[in-house]
Amino acid sequence: MAYTSYNVNAFVAEGCKGSPAAVAVLGEPLPDSRMLEIAAENGVPETAFILKRREGLNLRWFTPDLEMDLCGHATLASAHIAFTRLRQEMGENPSFDGDMLYFDTREGRIGVRNESESRYTLDFPVREGKAAELPEAIYDSLSIKPDEVYLSRDYLLIYSDYKKIGQIEVCNRELFDTVDLGEGGVIVSAPGFGCYDFVSRFFTPKATILEDPVTGSAHCTLVPYWSSRLHLKAMRALQMSENRGELYCRLDAGRVLITGMAEEF
């Protein structure tokens, strides 16, 4: 079955390459097994599948290994394609309402605002972490040990210094991969530097791609934590992967609003 595919970098900025996503636009549904095959063939952190329907746009996200419950950078990439390529092509569609776009997803209806050319704001749920014990296999696999541990979908590990975030390595991948977190992963984070309020990185056990370049969904947990700790509602964040990505985040009425730039390549 034919589909149209686009490649988009999300959360790009000066000095930040962002995170690559493939966006596949479907006219008819594909079997889950085929979508997983396509995601594995694409070999990028996430492939988003937009199903065009008369009643609106359906959005699903697949890594090379599994379907995700929520993905930030691939939603940002999908919004860019929807606004720049699909809106005019589809004409009147309930997914589009002025500067707002709505996707139907596993997480429910997700809104994305078109702020300006190539700049979008995701309206995501809060996933506040609770104090937790870190599995021994993850603890022993990390080159630098955390000061605090929290758990939502993902483990959130807090460090005292942003320099440690850049230095952390998964030094025993075999041991790390004995832990199955399903759709979850391991966030490492610390107070920021310069213009950034906080920084992070993201690792996933058992995944084909160990480190995710920019993880928008992780900020559903990061934002409430740092908002409480820093006494800020609006924050600027940096994900310190090799690619790097920049996110503007705001806690608003029990939602996490994440703004970033996208560019097709």
Chain segment 108-119, per-residue pLDDT in tens: 999 999 999 899
DSSP element (H, E) containing 66: none
Q: Do the domains at 4-125 and 130-251 have one common CATH topology? A: yes
CATH level 3 topology of 4-125: Diaminopimelate Epimerase; Chain A, domain 1 (3.10.310)
- Note the pLDDT of residue 85: 94
Residue 73 clears pLDDT 80, i.e. is over it: yes
* The total number of residues written for the chain in this structure: 265
DSSP element (H, E) containing 182: none
Residue found under tokens 């149209």: 4
Tokens of 161: 């210094």
Domain coordinates in residue numbering, the chain: 4-125, 130-251
Contact 73, 91 (CB under 8 A): no
Distance CA 195, CA 117 (A): 23
The CATH superfamily assigned to 130-251 is Diaminopimelate Epimerase; Chain A, domain 1 (3.10.310.10)
For residue 34, the number of C-alpha atoms closer than 13 Å in the C-beta half-sphere is 10
Q: Choose the catalytic residue: 37, 46, 133, 246.
A: 46
Residue 256 clears pLDDT 90, i.e. is over it: yes
| CA distance to 83, 159, 237, per residue, from 16 (Å) | 23, 23, 12
Active site residue 46: yes
* pTM reported for the whole predicted model: 0.97
- Note the pLDDT of residue 1: 63
Residue 92 clears pLDDT 90, i.e. is over it: no
- Note the pLDDT of residue 90: 82
Please write the tens of the pLDDT for every residue from 126-144.
999 999 999 999 999 999 9
Residue 88: pLDDT band with limits 50, 70, 90: confident
Please write the tens of the pLDDT for every residue from 159-214.
999 999 999 999 999 999 999 999 999 999 999 999 999 999 999 999 999 999 99
Q: Could you give the residue ranges of the DSSP H alpha helices within the chain?
A: 32-42, 72-81, 87-90, 136-141, 162-167, 173-176, 219-230
C-alpha triplet 96, 97, 98: angle, nearest 5°? 115
Q: What value does the mean pLDDT take over residues 135-162?
A: 98
Strands 46-53 and 67-68: unpaired
Three-state SS at 117: coil
